[in-house]
Amino acid sequence: MTIHAIRTGSVRIKTAQVEGRGRGLRRRLTLFADRNWTDWLPTYAWVIDHPEGVIVVDTGQGIQLLDNVRSFHPYQRWQVAFRIEREEEIGPQLRALGVGPRDVQRVVLTHLHIDHDGGLAHFPRSEILVSRGELRTARGWMGCARGYLPNRWPSWFDPVPLDLAAEAFGPFAASTRLTQAGDVVAVATPGHTADHLSVAVLDEGVTYFLAGDASYNERLMLAGEIDGVSVDDEMAGRTLEAIRCFARDRPTVYLPTHDPESAMRLATRRVIIRSSGTAG
Ligand SMILES: [Zn+2]
């Protein structure tokens, strides 16, 4: 089994989105007052070349996001900026790896934010899995109001709603195996969105934790600092705690979507090393 990191362009957000300030509604509103941008951060999608077939986790950005500067949505217009060229979309990058559209059996989305579902158009023949609750949240005009772009989904988009079974996977309360071998597992990591999921890939004694936006980087996960957009403080905090707990027992390579060090960690199999005194 091989995992590939596919960088689908870059994104810039406000620093108060990466590391939330305050709690609750105040935390979620503060980012709109923040004038400080992050550096350009990568947006990774992941390709699991598995004996049972290729699984893609998240589809990254698409060039249609460059139109967001004209959006009426205050978040999309003023709080986020994208960089991407057409050949940086996931489709062309998969072809460069020798993976054609028909080779991808399944696409799993950690959540439906616009930089995770932006490459859906490249997968018309794949089974697409999205958690049922996330789909409900993102649909329709309420989805648009929440900052999703359901109007940009391909017309054929009809994902399989994923109900994570009430089967614990380590400290995670709900999980579903995505392969017969049981070595690719979707786990519930609610917080960033209420139905956010992550994908754990077990290979040769190491767990590769494809974390989506559970946190924007490893440091914040270790520190238990939640982001500026998470829907619920307690829920997001419990998820970060569960990830730390998981990594305590098993060698874990932590791979968030926007962490500048994710690709290096994957390439060098660098597991989470907790320094003494780290919270949690
Ligand atoms: Zn997100």
Kindly give the distance from the C-alpha atom of residue 213 to the centroid of ligand 1, in angstroms, as a whole number.
5
Checking if the pLDDT of 279 tops 50, the result is no
Check residue 120 and give its pLDDT. Answer: 97
If pLDDT is split at 50, 70 and 90, which confidence band does 71 have? confident
Beta-carbon contacts of 93 under 8 Å, excluding residues fewer than 6 positions away, are: 6, 8, 87
pLDDT in the model for residue 275: 60
Give alpha helix (H) positions in 6-113: 15-18, 24-33, 74-78, 90-96
Structure tokens at 163: 């109900």
C-alpha of residue 29 to centroid of ligand 1, in Å: 16
Per-residue pLDDT band for 166 (boundaries 50, 70, 90) equals: confident
Distance 276 CA to ligand 1 centre (A): 30
The rounded Å distance from CA 101 to ligand 1 centre is 25
In terms of pLDDT, which residue wins out, 21 or 56?
56
pLDDT of residue 277: 45
The CA 231 to ligand 1 mean position distance, Å, reads 11
How much is the pLDDT for 203? Answer: 97
According to DSSP, the residues that pair with 13 across neighbouring strands are 80
Mean pLDDT of the chain: 94
Confidence band for 273, pLDDT divided at 50, 70 and 90: confident
**Position 169 pLDDT exceeds 50:** yes
| Contact in structure between 44 and 263 (CB atoms under 8 Å) | yes
Contact 190, 240 (CB under 8 A): no
Q: How far is the CA of 13 from the centre of ligand 1 (A)?
A: 11
Distance of CA 192 from the midpoint of ligand 1 (Å): 7
Instruction: Tell how far the Cα of 110 is from the centroid of ligand 1, in angstroms.
Output: 9
Per the CB < 8 A criterion, the answer to whether 45 and 8 are in contact is: yes
Looking up tokens 């596919």 gives 6
Give the helix/strand (H/E) hosting 100.
none
Phi, psi of 5 (to 5 degrees): -95, 125
Please, which residues have CB within 8 angstroms of residue 14's CB and are 6 or more apart in sequence?
Answer: 31, 34, 35, 36, 37, 38, 79, 228
CA of 113 to the centre of ligand 1 (A): 5
Distances (CA, A) of 163 to 14, 72, 113, 186: 33, 33, 19, 10
pTM of the model: 0.95
CA of 181 to the centre of ligand 1 (A): 29
Cα of 28 from ligand 1 centre, angstroms: 14
> Whole-angstrom distance between the N-terminal and C-terminal Cα of the chain?
32
Tens of pLDDT, residues 175-212: 999 999 999 999 999 999 999 999 999 999 999 999 99
- Per the model's pLDDT, the better-predicted residue between 67 and 127 turns out to be 127
Q: How far is the CA of 256 from the centre of ligand 1 (A)?
A: 11
